[in-house]
Amino acid sequence: MEALSAAIVTSITTTLTPSDPSQTRVEIDLEGSCEEGSAKVTMSIVSAAFSGLPRLRRHKLVNSCMAPFLESGGGVHAVSFKCKSLEEEGGG
């Protein structure tokens, strides 16, 4: 599960802020087990990339990052997340 978590975080940070991944913070919680073959993922994502974007656009960005993990054999069967900009989080 550690490898899956790291892969998800890397996908999100490098997609949202490729020139400076430190501008995206991801808190992730995975429920499930390797034996079950998939996990439920819950995330809180704070990113400079969300600045000025409406909620729907933010969610589309994250969904595009998660698509490979949600496909058959991708390791994830469900995902939920909250997105905030750095300004909304108080860090920008």
Nearest to 4 by CA among 69, 60, 73: 69
Nearest to 1 by CA among 69, 71, 87, 83: 69
Q: Is residue 82 over pLDDT 90?
A: yes
The pTM score is 0.89
Q: What is the pLDDT of residues 12-51, one digit of tens each?
A: 999 999 999 999 999 999 998 655 668 999 999 999 999 9
The reported pLDDT for the residue numbered 68 is 94
67 Cβ contact list (under 8 Å, min separation 6) = none
Top pLDDT among 58 and 71 is at 58
* CA 12 vs CA 35, 42, 43: distances in Å: 25, 13, 11
Lowest mean pLDDT among 33-37, 62-66, 72-76: 33-37
* % residues pLDDT > 70 (the chain): 92
